Structure 1
Amino acid sequence: MTVVNAVEQIRSSKGGRPTREAAAELGERILDIALEHFLRYGFEGASMDAIAADVQVSKRTLYQRHQSKKGLLLSVRERERHVYRAIVNIPLPRGSVRQQIGMLAHNILDAILNARALGFMKLAQEIRRAEPGLVEDGAFEAMTSYWAGAFRSVLSRDPMLADYEPDRLQSVASVLFDALVTVPFARTTIVGNLEDSKQARSIEIERVLDVLAGGIPSLQRP
């Protein structure tokens, strides 16, 4: 049974609106299909008619929920944003500061270097060229700041850094984030001199941690 059939069955059996659960399930399916279309055809090439047909709902349903194609795109992006924010909320295993910082960097890089994340970033670049201002609301900066905050959280629990002022701790966290995430990501996707594999990322993260450990004793090998 499709999502839409399930919704219609609930609607007809009760003679009213679908249950909250069914409506939420349909909402997720709409966003899933919309994401596929945006990634495949781009913002300009994606069609509300085609999206509605693939979801098996009327185009009116899409407009009722999202007002416009722009609104649908922003809804998709908002869901993706929450997915990627949650990367750093995964509980870290017990270990040294070095091990936990390394694990954070691994988790983020593994997530943002998959096909879905890269496709969405490419879509965002296309939109910036075609529709300047459409997605320029600081969401990306807020995301990276949130991720860097996870690095700071690990550092703040380290007794060796207990005397650091908040601003200094934030600066250290930002340096770690850039060195362990921003630079490896750019080397993989733009420069092309870092292999896109877990093993290559692991070697690079350990290399960078070794370099930084000279100034941050907490990052020294056990």
Structure 2
Amino acid sequence: MRRREGRLPPRDPKGGRPSQELAARLGVHILDIALEQLITHGGDRASMEVIARAANVSKRTLYSRFGSKVDLLYAVIDHGFARIAKPVTRPTAKGSPREQLLSAAKKMLNAALKPETIGHETLIYWAIEHYPRAGTRARADNHAGIQIFRRILDDAAERGELIVQDPEFLSSLLFDALVVGPRHRILRRRTLANTPAAKNEYLEKTLEIVLAGACPPSS
């Protein structure tokens, strides 16, 4: 299996200080492993000892870097968001506002359907039940997606391509209609096929309806 970026080779049995490169990558390595362990075993069973053993580091290293399991959990949630958001936050496709919104929606929906994202979401629900502060991190994830739509709308309005009376509300509506809604239909209601053709048709129809009230200004 190909090692992910940030993964470390096995620790040298002879001991000694790690190289500067390995030391710089250690934090990402720990967070990658901790995320996998917490998703696989759940928050209750993935103890600091289990995570340290899987990451091939000492418990002392974990506590020196993160302080407590709760702090590690918060760092893992943030790290998971960053990994999920990486392909989504790349520059959107060129073209009309509709084409840009559609491209961004496809990226977000596909990212939201990945097993890693679903596992990360399950971890967040567990964290919220035990540590209410985790809820702010879940809202931050949605906020990032909404802001992508907001930037596209603001740019289109500035260029005179759309009239948007309430861009904040419309951005939130787009996120619900183009990401949350179809994801729920695919995973829960099972009324939408998880195929490129079915998702594309759904997104195009939905976007057409939502943008009907944001018409270009008349000349």
> Identity across aligned pairs (percent)?
30
Contact 2:78-2:137 at 8 Å conserved across structures: no
Counterpart of 2:12, as a letter, is N
| 1:87 Cα deviation after fit | 4.4
Moved more, 54-63 or 82-91: 82-91
Counterpart of 1:71, as a letter, is D
Aligned residue in 1 for 2:104: 104
Q: Distance in 2 between matches of 1:18 and 1:205?
A: 49
Alpha-carbon RMSD:
2.5
- The equivalences for 1:1-222 within 5 A come to 2=9, 4-5=11-12, 11=17, 18-19=19-20, 21-129=21-129, 131-136=130-135, 138-158=136-156, 159-160=159-160, 164=164, 168-217=166-215
Contact 1:3-1:25 at 8 Å conserved across structures: no
Q: Distance in 1 between matches of 2:54 and 2:131?
A: 29
Structure 1 counterpart SS, 2:34: helix
Q: So what's the TM-score if we normalise by structure 1? A: 0.82
Q: Distance in 2 between matches of 1:44 and 1:5?
A: 31
Q: 1:99 to 1:51 in 2, by over 3 A?
A: same
Moved more, 22-31 or 82-91: 82-91
Q: Distance in 2 between matches of 1:122 and 1:32?
A: 16
Q: Distance in 1 between matches of 2:60 and 2:193?
A: 46
Aligned residue in 2 for 1:14: none
Q: So what's the TM-score if we normalise by structure 2? A: 0.83
For residues 72-111 of structure 1, the C-alpha deviation after alignment (integer angstroms, 9 at most, x for no partner) is: 2111112122334444431122111111000110111111
Aligned residue in 1 for 2:4: none
Counterpart of 1:176, as a letter, is L
Structure 1 counterpart SS, 2:11: helix
Q: Distance in 2 between matches of 1:68 and 1:62?
A: 8
Q: Distance in 2 between matches of 1:63 and 1:143?
A: 26
| 1:191 Cα deviation after fit | 2.1
Which structure has greater helix proportion? Answer: 1
| 1:50 Cα deviation after fit | 2.1
Contact 1:155-1:161 at 8 Å conserved across structures: no
Counterpart of 2:188, as a letter, is I
| 1:37 Cα deviation after fit | 1.0
Structure 1 gaps, min length 5: 12-16
Counterpart of 2:132, as a letter, is G
For residues 4-41 of structure 1, the C-alpha deviation after alignment (integer angstroms, 9 at most, x for no partner) is: 339x56x2xxxxx752x322212222111111110111
Structure 1 counterpart SS, 2:193: coil
Q: Distance in 2 between matches of 1:87 and 1:148?
A: 15
| 1:213 Cα deviation after fit | 4.0
